[in-house]
């Protein structure tokens, strides 16, 4: 039977904890950057001729829940209650009653329209893991 002694365990724990803290901070910053980039891209697509919808766009700072890191990108609120209805055009269950019978919405600003947040998110998701990984490296 072999015997061995493991020394330096407390020092190693301290180093691993420090690496974890650095990694979490860098991951949070990388997610914050991704959120800001997606919001900026969506701002180029969000309709400008349907009220002040563009002004309601926000990328909220990352939120930690246990070991999970995330970012929240939103449009709408009291200043622009039509955000979801416009995003989900053509007509869906999200449209207000006043829109019943409406079969389409014409966006007059070229390059803007429905799915103004979904499309930039889909486009960004392709390389997101790699970008976050590069920014998280120690």
User: pLDDT value at position 79?
Assistant: 62
The residue ranges of the chain whose pLDDT is under 70 are 1-2, 4-7, 50, 63, 79-80, 90-106, 138
User: pLDDT value at position 27?
Assistant: 86
Domain extents in the chain = 12-136
User: pLDDT value at position 138?
Assistant: 57
Of the candidates 98, 111, 97, 103, the one whose C-alpha atom is nearest the C-alpha of residue 44 is: 111
Read off the pLDDT of residues 41-59 as tens digits, 9 standing for 90 and up: 999 999 887 678 888 999 9
User: pLDDT value at position 69?
Assistant: 82
Q: Strand, helix or coil at 102?
A: coil
Spatial distance between the Cα atoms of 35 and 66, rounded to a whole number of angstroms: 20
User: pLDDT value at position 25?
Assistant: 83
């Amino acid at each position: 039977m072999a015997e061995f002694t493991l020394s330096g365990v407390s020092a190693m724990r301290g180093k691993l904890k420090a690496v974890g803290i650095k990694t979490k901070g860098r991951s949070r910053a990388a997610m914050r950057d991704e959120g800001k980039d997606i919001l900026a891209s969506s701002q180029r697509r969000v309709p400008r001729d349907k009220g002040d919808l563009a002004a309601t766009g926000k990328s909220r700072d990352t939120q930690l829940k246990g070991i999970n890191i995330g970012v929240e990108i939103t449009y709408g609120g009291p200043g622009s209650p039509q955000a979801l209805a416009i995003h989900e055009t053509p007509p869906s269950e999200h449209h207000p009653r006043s829109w019943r019978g409406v079969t389409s919405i014409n966006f007059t600003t070229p390059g803007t329209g429905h799915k103004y947040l979904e499309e930039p998110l889909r486009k960004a998701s392709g390389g997101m893991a790699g970008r976050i990984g590069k920014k998280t490296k120690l």
